[in-house]
Structure 1
Amino acid sequence: MSNRFLELINTFDDILESPIQMEITNQPIKIFEGEFSLIDDKEEIKIIGNIEYKWLPHKGAIFYGNLIENSEQIISLVDTIRSFDVVCNGNTLGKGFISNFSIGNEITIKGKFHFNSVFGDETIPVDKLKFCIPNFRDFSGNIVKSITETTKKTYKNRIVLENDKYSIIIDKCFDYKKSVELLNDNGGYLILYSGELKAKKGTLTFQNSKEILHCLNIFLCFLNGRRTSALFIHGVYEENTLWVDYSNYNVDSYDKLSSWTNSQSIEGFNELWKTFSDKWKNENDKDVLNTAIHWYMECNKGSGFIEGSLIMAQTALELLYNWYVVENKKLLVGKDSENINASNKIRLLISQLNINYNVPNRFTSLQKFLKSEKLNDAPEAVVQIRNAIVHSQEEKRTKLNNIDINAKREALELCIWYIEMSLLKILNFKDKIYNRCSENLATSSKIERLPWINDGV
């Protein structure tokens, strides 16, 4: 290997090492092994056992083990639902409850944490936070290096997100392709990225970092098209881990789902993050982003199947109409903004995106529905299908049953695209995107410029 090449490699940052290692999908994460206590205002129950973060059948921290002494204690728990502090080495890890127990030669107790579970003293300020991100989609990013005794490699694995207060780096694991193959085979959960967050001034604490991590999680969900979060958050001071947050933040089980993002480029992500995190400071904008992205993800993964997802999609579109067209652009004021029908709201919204009202050419089933019902355009077709779902009159039920399932599916896909484009317009994104409604069937051909950029808007 030439000296020039070695010098080049050394100019790149090292790839982040994950603070938590998973070798297989759904592998439990060990938190603690040994003696711990369940304490409330009535008594202390001492247990020898384990505390783990489990993925299946439900995500979150659990505890299990054998009662150490005073077996009569269990009698008082049989008919009582109680909440306990789970205490290890004098530190309260969180509040939990006993889910079941068994009595044999020993008394075995199993339990779960309510939500929060932090190991260590989270009140101590730290230099940085290290975390893991499971089930996050593939992106080709900035170059990082990995150097071992036998190899020197570079990877295009890094995403950098910065605003005026924080610097965040997120690195894809070097064996990402193999990890995704495991997820395709087994489903569930696997850590795919590692991250690091630093404040540009001062230190970080568990409390003052919660809001920026919440903002980051929603932003990552929007990129991902499904829920993911920063998990297993390590508070690090002078390279020593002082506390770890094992709380059960939202992550969806792995699934292949479309998103607006172009996996071959992270161009524009940092500017998008700056705008997103800036809007997050305003309570109204924060609420709309949170809610709209929630509906977007639920629609995208088909939480309510096609029909329920269509209802959620129109809910998101009406929210975005009110936020962007009425509250921000002020194109309508007073009662006029409330009295127009749903299809006109969608038309007004997408008119701001430089999107025409036509049904995309490849949505042939939705086009047939539009013609058969003698409707004007795509917004009207979408609203007609949604109304047939929502209203329970016999006529509407009969009409719904006669609508081709493919027309419903295409209407949903179109609505999701409207949501994606609306959010990207509001967030002033300017780079290329994956167009789920494109006439080009090949994935690589669906990478397009945004509709409002084509005309130089």
Structure 2
Amino acid sequence: MSRPEPLQPVYQFSSAQEPVSLRQGTVEVDFNNDRFCGMADLVLRFLPGPRLVFHAIVRSTSEPELPFFLNVPDNLSVSFNGQKMEGFRGRWKANGNTLEFDWIPRSQPVVLSDMQPKNSVAAIFHLFNFPEFRGGNYQEVAPLGCALLVLESEDWKISLQELPEDATREAWDQIKNEGGCFLTHMVKMERKDGEQFSGEDAQEQCFLLDNFLSFINGGRCWPVCGVGLDASGETTWETFASPRPVRPPYSWFNPYKASQAELLFPLFAKRWQQSAEWRDCLHSAIYWYVQANTSGGSPSIDAAIILAQAALERLAHHYLVVDQKVVSGKGRASDRLRMLFSACGIPNEIMDATPDIRRANGTFKKDTRWMDAPHAITDIRNSLVHPVSKKKLHDCHVDAWKLSLWYLELSVLALCGYDGTYVSRLTAKYVTDSANVPWGKKA
């Protein structure tokens, strides 16, 4: 069987951190009771950090009275190709009746197309700083020399492909040595039944994919700069957004066992699409998860503990109170977490993998000891938010952080019905050490 041709970037995202022009067009600016017309370039800049900017040069339609550009306000009215762009002004300079300025969109993605027609058979996106992976189930149908990850839900097939000619590895060499944000993978989205879809349909699936990739990556990660294609390969719509420049932190996902992501995705998508409430719950939990998954940078460990437990309490409330209706919304957080973990098949006892928590618990008086791990992490969290405890718990912060994230990762996996392998942040010595989930089948 012949191999398909690899997906190629739509835009010239090179190995250097140079600005990339994405779209050019006409621009109109209303300012000082005058209208300025000119040209603008929609640019993705990478330094000092990725940012989407309209760079515009306009001239007055009338002869201004000097001095004219003493102050350019932030609240300009700016239209690009006849479409009003909400945003704010960046750096600017003026010369005579000519104004040159940056206009920064207020929200992303920037949509400059009609997204409603159902005339697309595929959508192509660009993925930055996504880890190199191996071990997917579809390598025999991958383009030659490109690792391939295929995520399938009930209706959609999403392919993540490495860049050809070792470009992904070269990008990661630069990320590790220099930092920054580099294109590492291409994403192709299509319906499994071959039916055409709209840009709005693709955006809805992209939101799901954003959250899924962030969860397996352990840090914010989303495909950007999407392009819809019709059956003849012509462009049907475009969206524009800036990527997130992160080095993937530690997570439950083993990048050398990519089949873990392929197994989880249909389960995650089913839970996500079960109801708007489940979607909001998972989105909130993952939002807090990626912020809490720090290594002592920003936020700090103590703030990360609070964020991780906010995510755990959100999951516990939705599953126990809203979805299953087995308890009321009242009661102690530790009791709800204990019930959630028990329902998911996750151990509640204090383990040797958290030696500082075990050691501290042994120093407490009998009537103040933690009864289990949920009791410990909520007590440590409470000591940060309500510092009235007489216990000295600062030596337990790293253990509490790791344990909270371990519980959070396993809770999401369990609530999705996943029973494969994962990387335990409590016991794994290497990111390639996979173990069975506690409730899964034994190997």
The verdict on a shared fold, with TM-score over 0.5 as the criterion, is yes
Cα shift readout 1:355-408 (whole Å, capped 9, x = no counterpart): 333333243222222222333332222122111100144xx4x75xx4344x20
Mean Cα displacement is larger for which, 424-433 or 162-171? Answer: 162-171
Cα shift readout 1:325-345 (whole Å, capped 9, x = no counterpart): 344444x334xx622x22222
The match for 1:292 among 281, 285, 288 is 285
Matches for 1:227-266 after TM superposition, within 5 Å: 227-237=220-230, 238-248=232-242, 251-266=243-258
The match for 1:427 among 412, 416, 420 is 416
- Quick one: distance in 1 between partners of 2:70 and 2:153? 50
Cα shift readout 1:237-268 (whole Å, capped 9, x = no counterpart): 221224321134xx532224111112122325
The match for 1:377 among 365, 369, 372 is 372
Query: Counterpart in 2 of 1:316?
Result: 311
* Structure 1 residues not aligned, in runs of 5+: 1-9, 148-152
The match for 1:274 among 250, 266, 276 is 266
The match for 1:217 among 207, 210, 214 is 210
Query: Counterpart in 2 of 1:109?
Result: 101
Deviation for aligned residue 1:54: 1.9
Q: Is the 8 Å Cα contact of residues 27 and 55 (structure 1) preserved in structure 2? A: yes
Mean Cα displacement is larger for which, 160-169 or 40-49? Answer: 40-49
Deviation for aligned residue 1:206: 2.1
Partner amino acid, structure 2, of 1:126:
S
Query: Does 1:338 pair with 2:330?
Result: yes
CA 11–113 in structure 1, closer or farther in 2 if over 3 Å, else same: same
Q: Is the 8 Å Cα contact of residues 50 and 181 (structure 2) preserved in structure 1? A: no
Query: Counterpart in 1 of 2:174?
Result: 182
Partner amino acid, structure 2, of 1:101:
W
- Quick one: distance in 1 between partners of 2:186 and 2:68? 45
The match for 1:194 among 186, 194, 200 is 186
Query: Counterpart in 1 of 2:161?
Result: 171
Query: Counterpart in 2 of 1:61?
Result: 52
Deviation for aligned residue 1:420: 0.6
Partner amino acid, structure 1, of 2:139:
I
Instruction: Say which SS state the counterpart of residue 37 (structure 1) adopts.
Output: strand
Mean Cα displacement is larger for which, 79-88 or 429-438? Answer: 79-88
Q: Is the 8 Å Cα contact of residues 34 and 60 (structure 2) preserved in structure 1? A: no
Q: Is the 8 Å Cα contact of residues 347 and 438 (structure 2) preserved in structure 1? A: no
Cα shift readout 1:247-290 (whole Å, capped 9, x = no counterpart): 34xx5322241111121223253442222222223111111111
Instruction: Say which SS state the counterpart of residue 264 (structure 1) adopts.
Output: coil
- Quick one: distance in 2 between partners of 1:410 and 1:25? 40
Q: Is the 8 Å Cα contact of residues 29 and 53 (structure 1) preserved in structure 2? A: yes
Instruction: Say which SS state the counterpart of residue 309 (structure 1) adopts.
Output: helix
TM-score, normalised to structure 2, is 0.85
Mean Cα displacement is larger for which, 75-84 or 276-285? Answer: 75-84
- Quick one: distance in 2 between partners of 1:11 and 1:193? 22
Cα shift readout 1:56-115 (whole Å, capped 9, x = no counterpart): 445432122433344639948936443434324xx5384344323223465422221222
CA 375–278 in structure 1, closer or farther in 2 if over 3 Å, else same: closer
Cα shift readout 1:126-161 (whole Å, capped 9, x = no counterpart): 2221111112122212326788xxxxx433x11112
Cα shift readout 1:310-354 (whole Å, capped 9, x = no counterpart): 111111111222222344444x334xx622x22222222222233
Mean Cα displacement is larger for which, 273-282 or 407-416? Answer: 273-282
Query: Counterpart in 1 of 2:402?
Result: 413
- Quick one: distance in 2 between partners of 1:144 and 1:190? 27
Cα shift readout 1:213-235 (whole Å, capped 9, x = no counterpart): 11111111111111111101012
Q: Percent identity?
A: 21
Instruction: Say which SS state the counterpart of residue 296 (structure 1) adopts.
Output: helix
CA 49–208 in structure 1, closer or farther in 2 if over 3 Å, else same: closer
Query: Counterpart in 2 of 1:92?
Result: 83
Q: Is the 8 Å Cα contact of residues 35 and 60 (structure 2) preserved in structure 1? A: no
Q: Is the 8 Å Cα contact of residues 55 and 101 (structure 2) preserved in structure 1? A: yes
CA 93–269 in structure 1, closer or farther in 2 if over 3 Å, else same: farther
Query: Does 1:359 pair with 2:346?
Result: no
Deviation for aligned residue 1:236: 1.4
Query: Counterpart in 2 of 1:162?
Result: 152
Q: Is the 8 Å Cα contact of residues 37 and 86 (structure 1) preserved in structure 2? A: yes
Mean Cα displacement is larger for which, 292-301 or 363-372? Answer: 363-372
* Structure 2 residues not aligned, in runs of 5+: none
- Between structures 1 and 2, the one with greater helix share: 1
